[in-house]
């Protein structure tokens, strides 16, 4: 059959399809290039207006747009392949599909393409909110298919029925989620998707941590065996940075022995649930004593995983809050702790030389001098610092004097080394938010932090946080609240904290039960029921048996005598109509038959209302007493709708 001979969809189905396309665009909006969403929204609105007036979209313009879309994607990303360019191309082609939707078959194809595009949104986030939004966006698409069926009811009833269909599909989806074998590597862990959020990295340069300080997503959650430590003690070290080339700090490649530690006081036991990072860095509270199973220590006692963390990881650690780390420093560590690039930042070197001349070998006095400078000389904490030039430390110390933790940690360590004091940068997380509902500590990406360690005779490596000298509330309140300044009270208000507590508990359960449901956990679950997910026969038997039970129950419900349900629909609708008529002064007499009651009321109404009520009375008698059950269900719902719309 040619396209011209195929039936044209009605405006309702096209409108529902357009809503589904717009919803898919909205879910992809955060990661689309800025130039793409406005023309696509305009195209959707223009096409809906043209369809409502019976106009076809210009073919030449459609071909031009189809050609321009991939060219624009290539100009933006340099390729058509990958998660970001693929999503932009899919969303653009989906919107362009509306321009050629002229038949019912086109609506079916458009719904299928829109559903695929919605699924691809889960490659960018698998949170509970994103999953619910994807399900909500499927609603108008399913309604668009239902609207194409002969005898489809009113839009309100149609949406209600499709919402029920989506709800009934949840058990089947749950069975498939549990029984179908999991991929060893998830789809979003494929090559080309590594640009996802990685948290703290092993390289620190201006702006590196700043990109995390505006990210409010969870980094990890910590459950303590006892009380949660005070905020000032919540320093989670992830990587120690020794080498500075004038632009960036890195761990360096010199082999070093494991630094000895003398723990003081009672140890602290806790468990960390780490989000996906695709790195081997594992944060641990200063200072971990033993590496958990499957991990190892770096020389500076940071934890490293054997493999990059491609899915949520849970590990237990014991740390000491009071300790002496490396009470003696060997020659190799001293050289690394004093390394500076040649001819870099001469003004900072001169300042450190003056301190050295004034205080001599008193390292503690030099440290205090640097902290007093940060506190008293007009330095400020900001997440939007001005850019720095080639001499980064000089520009920061003597010109801009504005930055966040990495600026202060980098400049402080540079000054200490220039003054002859071994020092290094430590990057990790500081602070966190104590969830009062579930009793755990939530550490977000915005809690990323950098501080310094200086080596002092008799004390070993000693933590110094120069950011605290500039902005103490960065430690007491956190990065987000400190950046907001006077606007922080709303962020810390009781109602908001209580809401955040409850929302995060739900997100934590979702991450553990759904996002973290990997192949290993699936095998453990199915093994309890005697199912081996690595044997397709076992999985097929289990899946077939469960689906068979579900289909049998559904078939039994479908074949159930519908008369009772029809009577119930008519009965409820008549009861509502009776109450409405009673409020208008027309009460039904004791023992008065429904048809007689409606006929009596119709005689007292004006002509228009009387005619409508008589038709309702006649139809009610036919459905209740004369209609066959197989034909009554849809007609009963239609009568209920007309009765609901009737106004006496």
Q: What is the pLDDT of residues 230-276, one digit of tens each?
A: 988 999 999 999 999 988 999 988 888 999 999 988 899 999 999 88
Domain range annotation of the chain? 11-148, 210-496, 563-645
Judge whether 608 counts as a catalytic residue.
Answer: no
Q: Any residues with CB less than 8 A from the CB of 604 and at least 6 apart, and which?
A: 586
pLDDT average, residue stretch 354-383? 91
> Which residue is listed with tokens 């002859």?
420
Residue 174 — φ and ψ, nearest 5°? -65, -40
Active-site residue among 311, 407, 449, 586? 449
**Which residue among 465, 504, 586, 627 is the active-site one?**
465
Asked if the model's pLDDT at residue 565 lies above 50, the reply is no
pLDDT value of residue 195:
38
Instruction: Please confirm, yes or no, whether 375 is among the known catalytic residues.
Output: no
Token pair 């987000």: residue: 480
Tens digits of residue pLDDT in 205-236: 766 665 666 667 788 999 999 889 998 899 99
Q: Give the strand order in the sheet containing 303-305.
A: 281-282, 303-305, 295-297
Token pair listed for 120: 């691809």
645 vs 456, more confident: 456
pTM (global) more than 0.75: no
Candidate list 106, 394, 405, 511, residue with the active-site label = 405
- Asked which of 97-101, 542-546, 607-611 is least confident by mean pLDDT, the reply is 542-546
Burial of 7: CB neighbours in 10 Å, binned 0-12, 13-18, 19+? exposed
Tokens of 455: 């080596």
Are 19 and 140 a contacting pair, CB within 8 Å? yes
pLDDT at residue 368, rounded to an integer: 95
The pLDDT score that the predictor gives to residue 359 is 93
Give the pLDDT score at 372: 94
For the question of residue 135 being annotated catalytic, the response is no
**Residue 628 pLDDT exceeds 60:** no
Cβ-contact 558, 625 below 8 angstroms: no
Q: Is 183 within 8 Å of 227 (Cβ atoms)?
A: no
Give the residue, 27 or 154, on which the prediction is more confident. 27
pLDDT of residue 217: 78
The average pLDDT across 175-202 equals 58
Nearest Cα neighbor of 60 from 32, 99, 2 is 99
């Amino acid at each position: 059959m040619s396209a011209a001979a195929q039936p044209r969809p009605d405006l309702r189905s096209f409108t529902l399809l357009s809503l589904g396309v717009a919803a898919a665009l909205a879910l992809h909006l955060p990661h689309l290039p800025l130039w793409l969403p406005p023309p696509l929204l305009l195209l959707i609105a223009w096409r809906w207006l043209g369809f409502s007036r019976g106009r076809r979209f210009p073919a030449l313009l459609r071909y031009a747009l189809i050609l321009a879309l991939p060219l624009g994607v290539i100009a933006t990303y340099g390729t058509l392949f990958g998660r970001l360019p693929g999503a932009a191309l899919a969303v653009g082609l989906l919107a362009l599909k509306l321009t050629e939707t002229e038949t019912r078959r086109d609506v079916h194809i458009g719904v299928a393409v829109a559903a695929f595009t919605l699924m691809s949104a889960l490659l960018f986030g698998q949170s509970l909110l994103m999953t619910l939004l994807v399900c909500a966006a499927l609603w108008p698409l399913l309604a668009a298919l239902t609207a194409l069926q002969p005898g489809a009811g009113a839009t309100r009833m149609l949406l209600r029925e499709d919402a029920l269909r989506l709800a009934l599909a949840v058990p089947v989806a749950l069975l498939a989620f549990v029984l179908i074998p999991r991929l060893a590597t998830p789809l979003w862990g494929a090559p080309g998707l590594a640009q996802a959020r990685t948290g703290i990295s092993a390289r620190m340069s201006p702006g590196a941590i700043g990109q995390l300080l505006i990210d409010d997503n969870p980094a990890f959650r910590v459950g303590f065996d006892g009380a949660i430590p005070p905020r000032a003690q919540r320093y989670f070290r992830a990587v120690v940075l020794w080498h500075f080339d004038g632009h960036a700090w890195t761990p360096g490649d010199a082999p070093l022995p494991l630094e000895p530690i003398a723990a003081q006081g009672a140890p602290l036991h806790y468990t960390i649930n780490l989000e996906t990072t695709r790195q081997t860095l594992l944060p641990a509270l200063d200072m971990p004593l033993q590496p958990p199973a499957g991990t190892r220590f770096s020389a500076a006692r940071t934890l490293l995983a054997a493999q990059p963390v491609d899915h949520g990881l849970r590990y237990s650690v014991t740390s000491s809050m009071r300790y002496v780390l490396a009470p003696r420093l060997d020659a190799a560590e001293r050289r690394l702790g004093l390394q500076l690039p040649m001819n870099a930042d001469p003004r900072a070197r001169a300042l450190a030389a003056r301190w050295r001349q004034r205080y001599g070998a008193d390292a503690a006095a030099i440290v205090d001098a640097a902290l007093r400078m940060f506190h008293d000389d007009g330095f400020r904490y900001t997440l939007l610092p001005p850019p720095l030039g080639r001499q980064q430390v000089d520009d920061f110390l003597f010109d801009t004097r504005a930055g966040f933790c990495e600026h202060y940690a980098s400049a402080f360590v540079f000054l200490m080394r220039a003054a002859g004091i071994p020092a290094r940068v430590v990057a990790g997380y500081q602070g966190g938010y104590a969830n009062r509902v579930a009793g755990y500590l939530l550490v977000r990406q915005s809690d990323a932090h950098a501080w310094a360690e200086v080596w002092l005779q008799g004390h070993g490596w000693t933590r110094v946080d120069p950011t605290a000298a500039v902005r103490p509330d960065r430690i007491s309140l956190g990065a987000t609240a400190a950046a907001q300044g006077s606007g922080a009270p709303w962020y810390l208000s009781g109602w908001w904290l209580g809401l955040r507590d409850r929302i995060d508990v739900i997100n934590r359960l979702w991450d553990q039960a759904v996002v973290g449901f990997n192949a290993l956990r699936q095998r453990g679950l199915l093994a309890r029921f005697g199912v081996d997910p690595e044997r397709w026969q076992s999985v097929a038997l289990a899946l077939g048996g469960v689906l068979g039970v579900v289909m049998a129950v559904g078939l039994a419900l479908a074949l159930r005598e519908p008369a009772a349900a029809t009577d119930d629909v008519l009965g409820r609708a008549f009861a509502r109509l009776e109450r409405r008529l009673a409020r208008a002064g027309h009460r039904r007499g004791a023992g008065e038959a429904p048809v007689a009651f409606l006929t009596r009321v119709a005689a007292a109404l004006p002509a228009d209302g009387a005619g409508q009520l008589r038709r309702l009375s006649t139809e009610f008698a036919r459905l209740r007493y004369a209609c066959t059950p197989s034909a009554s269900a849809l007609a009963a719902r239609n009568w209920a709708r007309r009765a609901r719309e009737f106004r006496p």
